[in-house]
Structure 1
Amino acid sequence: MTFAATVLTLYPEMFPGPLGVSLAGRALSEARWRLDTVQIRDFAADRHRTVDDTPAGGGAGMVLRADVVARALDSVADGRPILAMTPRGRPLAQARVRELAAGPGAIVLCGRFEGFDERLFEARAIEPVSIGDYVLSGGEMGALVLLDACIRLLPGVMGAPSSGDEESFESGLLEYPHYTRPAEWEGRTIPEVLRSGDHARIAAWRKSMAETDTRLRRPDLWERHEGARVQSPSGARHTSEDEPK
């Protein structure tokens, strides 16, 4: 099964962009995934190819019309999940990326201007997705991020199947720090434990560093990780007194 990505955008020339180079680009040339773009303006009904209009109730900017965008979506809808890149969406997480990468692909809708007419989400099965708490000029950059995250997980793209197993977010923690040659640089040396050859010590150090960095840098992730860690198989929480030894 080939992962098929269809991007609906006002700027199809932005694709494949960075997805045409490095791992994603090689995988594209090897047909490990497929990319199609759809120009939303092609589904406008007037000679000016109008895709937006002023906000109901007044306000600055323009809003993408539900009727035009829906026609574009309906032209490609085939059962694949439809994701709309919008700052009003749910934050993209690695678990969702893995689900998408394991499926047939995705249809990605790129927002522009002030966003979409809300009736679009009421009328179609669309998953609003955000890549962070900031605003971009449009959804195209978010679409590139989402697709890159999925493509690197496709079979054969990263090489060894285990290449991504210990990366940030895969275990609910940030990844441990990495080092490489030279052993000393500007008076700073690689931690002794990583040069010891003792695999058990190395594994323990990496686990400890992942936990420490997550606790200090991403307390939100740490809180979720700790909450999950003390869950019993049935979902009940243990107190410190009855936690399994």
Structure 2
Amino acid sequence: MYLSLTDADMLQPRPNLVGLQNYSAMFANPEFWRSMTVTAIFALSVTFLEVALGMALAFLMNAPTRLQRLLRGAVFTPVVVSIAATAVVWNYLLSPASGPVNQALGAVGLPGPGWLSDPNTALASVILVATWKGVGLPAVLFLSGLQAIPRELEEAAVIDGATRAQVAGRVTIPLLAPTTMVVFFISLVGTFQSYGLVLLLTGGGPAGSTNLLGYYIYQNAFSFFQMGFASALSVALFLLLLGLGLLQLKLSERRVHYQ
């Protein structure tokens, strides 16, 4: 917060106080608002995908099948894979010229786009990769929530004539509300802080289409050495996440029932 009020540039030993100049420059900078828009699209897309897919995978992992352990390991493995390894693998898979994805599309007569090099598909591609890497944690959290639900409640609904879909929609999923709220908040906060995948997959491009706020902060701090401006961006991100946290607490008090 102190650095955000200075002209720190990592070069001069004693930065000068400039007041709210960095904040004025931030709000007047179109690139800041563009990064906020891109970040909002990215964060909401990844969050909703992780919540929906995580819950669906949790139901599959909770089903008593012979492949249960294998499925659980396969779902959680991407979470523990490093961001660098993830970027290398997906850069290869989505390569326009020799990537397996475009080769498979070409085999059926479909044109393969430049997934990470086309402004029209780059953000969607990063959303896909981020979801693939992060969905394992929500799935495990939902699985834990499913296993904590008393079986008597579901059995009573079945005895009353409810179908499996009705049991899931009217008993199981409502009882997962506390877990859903936690997963939603964790995913949303994590996506707002994302920058590693963008750094290694697209470098914020093409044409700024994947320039997330986290990467924009990193870029200003360590590429342009505008530490004061980057600190102002970081404070703005902190206040945004603080607001989301308070909103989550309010929603939990009003909408989520733990008993």
TM-score range, shorter chain: under 0.3
- Name the one with the larger helix percent: 2
* TM-score in terms of structure 1 length: 0.25
* TM-score in terms of structure 2 length: 0.24
- Name the one with the larger strand percent: 1
